[in-house]
Chains A and B, each alone.
Chain A
């Protein structure tokens, strides 16, 4: 017990230190640097949602970018019509939640690769609607000129205040997810991932839990979309294609599916690696995808899994039940 709470204290200390770094790091930096950090947070939110669906509940989804699209377009259309960002947010989230419920429905019937295809098809359908319904979405030209939100005297027009605003939202979103994962629901998600039959026989309503995992994960995608709109102030269907869903999926897997902080690491790798590998010019994606394959061969549990493996080697612990431990072994 003592060791456990000590572990918890170290963890809390680490989180506080990271948060302090997130607050202090952008001070005095160039706008571009702050922009990159903001988009890191936003993609981390989207990946957090997918981590709930994939890492905790074990349901693969290739549609996270389409939920970002739904959130982004809802926010864009409403703020352009003069509503405050805060008013458009619940609408976008609710919309994503409902669509996520509907998309989760096939997940009740099919699993694995079938679900991958359904969600993939859904992502492409959303893309087609955004491209073709010009009267609403502006077609291929997209929407532009969305205002950034103001809260009293706190204006987010400048890059740095917008970063802090995004950081605040991210912290709230992470706390929300923490609460979900720690709640009986969260335990039910993991039970579903580890052994659906046993979960059902123990009285877990697997139907409801599957749908919820999808809907909440989708709402997180919507939240990320609602933040992208004021950040970029220009959205078009091309920003929410299948390639982006794939990108978010890889964030979750690279960071470590089923680990709470996996999405932050995964998003950092995906967002920052192009900056680091800039000298390689066009070869960045080649290097990245090759690294992902190598990682999946040797450490399928992601980058956090590497630390976990090292820790196991250095300080062996007793075995933990799979639904109590962090990190998923994907089905």
Chain B
């Protein structure tokens, strides 16, 4: 029982971080019909910016985190939108998907060539000491990761539902044409969405890199899992992405512990295919209109 609790909690902690990535993914999809196949690399990269701040610029760790956040939000939010999404989106969704795939390769290879191919240690934000919780040894880091991620999701939901800007963003996501008529600055709202996505990916990067180490190839698995979480939860809902992320995190840990470690990576994929075939709108999502 205590082992189960341990596995469950660490699964929830990783799952909450997946959820952050999945939520950003969902937001960008809603606001700009952009399916970002480089999302995993968006999580891989901020950790490298922090390392650059610390090791090349000689900044302290906390200042470097701030540096990493700012650089990531500018590059992965603003520049990504202006240089890639805006010019390519009119050419069609699939073209943009392919462009983000190329971007993924570009970011991955750049991290590898310009910083290093080996996994780099990344300082932990919190101590990893195990603490005793109902007889299970749980790491404090896991608990704090879980708390921070959930806290950010709650804040984000409050922002989207309770503030004027947040509501304008929702209106933009639901119907840009009508939103524009009603006086919403649609372009600005879409930009905000990209910035929020970059910030969420950065936060996920800071929380998960101490565990995984900073490696250029981190994005491959992370991106895939975030897509799966977004789809499992329903591609068009924040709470869906949250449920999806948590579910994948827990299931992944449970399979690895109790069923098979070899096919651990297969479970989310099978889940993905099953969900897409049986319930394409996701577990808690609402269905989107489709032509054929």
Q: Which residues of A contact B (CB under 8 A)?
A: 54, 60, 106, 109-114, 116-118, 120-122, 124-125, 128, 132, 196-197, 200, 206, 242, 246, 249-250, 253, 282-283, 285-286, 288-290, 292-293, 296-297, 300, 329-331
Bound together, the chains give a CA A128 to CA B103 distance in angstroms of 25
Which B residues are CB-close (under 8 A) to A118? 272-273, 276
B35: chain A residues at CB < 8 Å are 112-113, 116
Q: Which residues of the other chain, B, contact A292 by a CB distance below 8 angstroms? A: 98-99, 102
Whole-angstrom CA separation of A114 from B231 in the bound complex: 8
Q: Could you show 6 A-B contacts with beta carbons less than 8 Å apart?
A: A111-B290, A116-B94, A117-B228, A197-B291, A297-B84, A300-B92
Q: Contact at A286–B95, with CB atoms within 8 Å?
A: no
Which residue of chain A has its CB nearest to the CB of B103?
A: A293
Q: Give the chain A neighbours of B290 by CB distance below 8 A.
A: 111
Assembly CA distance A125 to B291 (angstroms):
30
- Whether the Cβ atoms of A124 and B269 lie closer than 8 Å is yes
Q: 8 closest A-B pairs (Cβ-Cβ)?
A: A121-B269, A289-B106, A113-B35, A300-B91, A289-B105, A292-B102, A330-B94, A196-B292
| Interface class of chain B by DSSP | helix
Q: A286-B109, A293-B99, A296-B95 are in contact. Are A117 and B276 (CB under 8 A)?
A: yes
B residues near A60, Cβ cutoff 8 Å: 94, 97
- Chain A nearest CB: distance from B263 CB in Å? 6
Interface contact tally, CB-CB below 8 A:
124
A116 and B269 CA atoms in complex are apart in Å by 13
B87's partner among A109, A114, A297 (CB-CB below 8 A) is A297
Query: Number of B interface residues, CB 8 Å?
Result: 41
Add 10 more A-B contacts to A122-B273, A249-B101 (CB < 8 A): A60-B94, A114-B276, A125-B270, A128-B265, A197-B292, A282-B113, A293-B106, A300-B95, A330-B91, A331-B92
- Is the CB–CB distance between A109 and B91 below 8 Å? no
List residues of chain A with CB within 8 A of the CB of B102.
Answer: 250, 289-290, 292-293, 296
| Residues in chain B near residue A200, CB distance under 8 A | 292
Instruction: List residues of chain A with CB within 8 A of the CB of B93.
Output: 112-113, 331
Chain B residues in the interface with A (C-beta under 8 A): 35, 37, 84, 87-88, 91-95, 97-99, 101-103, 105-106, 109-110, 112-113, 220, 224, 227-228, 231, 262-263, 265-266, 269-270, 272-273, 276-277, 280, 290-292
B94 in contact with A285 (CB, 8 Å): no
Expressed in whole angstroms, the Cα–Cα distance for A242 and B265 within the complex equals 14
Q: In chain A, what residue has the closest Cβ to B230?
A: A117
Given A106-B276, A124-B265, do A289 and B91 touch, yes or no (CB 8 Å)?
no
CB distance from B11 to the nearest CB of A (A): 20
Enumerate chain B residues within 8 angstroms of A120, measured Cβ to Cβ: 224
Closest to A280 in B: B113
Could you tell me the distance between the alpha carbons of A292 and B101 in the complex, rounded to whole angstroms? 10
